[in-house]
Amino acid sequence: MNHAPEKIEHFGQDEALVLDSGVKLGPFSMAYETYGELNNDKSNVVLVCHALTGDQYAASTHPITGKPGWWSRMVGPGRPVDTERFFVICPNVIGSCLGSTGPASINPETGEPYGICFPVITINDMVKAQAQLLERLGIDDLFCVIGGSMGGMLVLQWAASYPEKVFAAAPIATAARHSSQNIAFHEVGRQAIMADPEWCGGRYAQEGRNPKKGLAVARMAAHITYLSENALHRKFGRNLQDRDAVTFGFDADFQVESYLRYQGVSFVDRFDANSYLYVTRAMDYFDLAQAHGGALAAAFKGTKTRFCVVSFTSDWLFPTEESREIVQALNANAANVSFVEIETDKGHDSFLLDEPEMIDAMDGFFRSAARARGLEDQGKGSHG
């Protein structure tokens, strides 16, 4: 899983991150990608926040899989996050494994990978690390912060922590707290990893092993939750995989089995098992209301940020109701907020897929926010 990220910033012990747990994390590194050009007054910065197993390669080729950027539909020339107008930064979150410091990184105190000696991090910690990166890059404030799923949690945290630095914010397919059911699914994934003897109590790197099977099972379970029942039915139904009849065995008779197995085995090549533990934990711990005395509205007190909240009708991982709670908290602050619920049967993963209505909504939001910000519209026309 080694690769050299294109862009990386290192922070010394004197710049250590004080985590919510109280632990000081330092030295640490932040890997990131950028797209587009920073304008003269640095007013055109868009921060893109990735999801659980996402990475900084939002609009560029992934160095391991060779696949196009995970959000090429949203970020690029003529796209809603138009790289001909905006300067886009997409950092890899701390705790992850694509260059930013995480459990696979070397612990300077021991000279060995942290493993599960890495401190537990939170969404707030991820945001603080991003803020430190931006400071290093000389960026004082953000035109917009945008992200889906866990990325949406980071967007909300940014808006709550640094309201004066966030002109616009687009939390997509997300929630202000992780639900009981979602914690349960994460716990299944973690137990699958930790049940794998190759996990070695988290020391698999030192032992030259790798809990690939456990991680694949975790991914398979999670992947089901990213789709809707209808999407699975439409895509696979009970269709058989390259055969005319069931085999009366445990091969992948059904296409849906074959698909899931592929999701599992292909995932382990690009993601670290311990990172999976840490990043899921960060989501579980996220509860923005609780961090503000129990009232979500208090998290956005007096906010001047322009929000566009997006949900998808068939997303059962982050149902519309949870987006509505965000909107209500913003309304309670008389915030500038629009709310788009998109009719689709593609489930939670819709934010990554070809959803023209989402693209149109984001395009409109970025254009209008750019006008409000006084960013010159270069009349680049529509996306696509």
C-beta of 38 vs 194, nearer to a second copy: 194
C-beta of 85 vs 212, nearer to a second copy: 212
CB of 37 to a second copy, least distance (A): 40
CB of 271 to a second copy, least distance (A): 17
CB of 239 to a second copy, least distance (A): 9
CB of 360 to a second copy, least distance (A): 29
Q: Measured between alpha carbons, how far is 300 from 160 in angstroms, rounded to an integer?
A: 5
CB of 119 to a second copy, least distance (A): 7
C-beta of 45 vs 277, nearer to a second copy: 277
Integer-rounded Cα Rg, in Å, for the chain is 21
Q: Which of 60, 105, 149, 350 is catalytic?
A: 149
Where on the chain is the footprint of a second copy (CB under 8 A)?
A: 20-21, 23, 116, 119-120, 177-181, 183-185, 187-188, 190-192, 194-197, 213-214, 216-217, 220-221, 224, 227, 229, 232-233, 235-238, 246, 248-250, 252-254, 256-257, 260-261, 264, 277, 281, 284-285, 287, 290, 316, 319
CA-nearest of 115, 105, 1, 96 to 49 is: 96
Alpha-carbon separation of residue 360 from 29, 329, 334, 337, 384 (angstroms): 35, 25, 25, 17, 11
Strands (E), the chain: 7-11, 17-18, 24-25, 28-35, 45-49, 75-76, 81-82, 87-91, 106-107, 112-113, 142-148, 166-172, 306-312, 336-342
DSSP state string for 157-192: HHHHH-GGGEEEEEEES--SB--HHHHHHHHHHHHH
Told to judge if 315 belongs to the known catalytic residues of this protein, a careful annotator would answer yes
Token duo for residue 132: 């430190």
- Which residue carries 């000081």 as its tokens? 24
Q: Which of 275, 348, 349, 350 is catalytic?
A: 348
C-beta of 136 vs 233, nearer to a second copy: 233
Told to judge if 244 belongs to the known catalytic residues of this protein, a careful annotator would answer no
| Cα 1 off chain centre by | 19
| Cα 36 off chain centre by | 21
C-beta of 82 vs 125, nearer to a second copy: 125
Residues 6 or more apart whose CB falls under 8 angstroms from that of 317 comprise 149, 173, 182, 185, 225, 226, 347, 348
DSSP-H helix ranges across 45-177: 123-136, 150-161
Q: Which of 55, 82, 253, 315 is catalytic?
A: 315
CB of 198 to a second copy, least distance (A): 9
Residues annotated as catalytic are 149, 315, 348
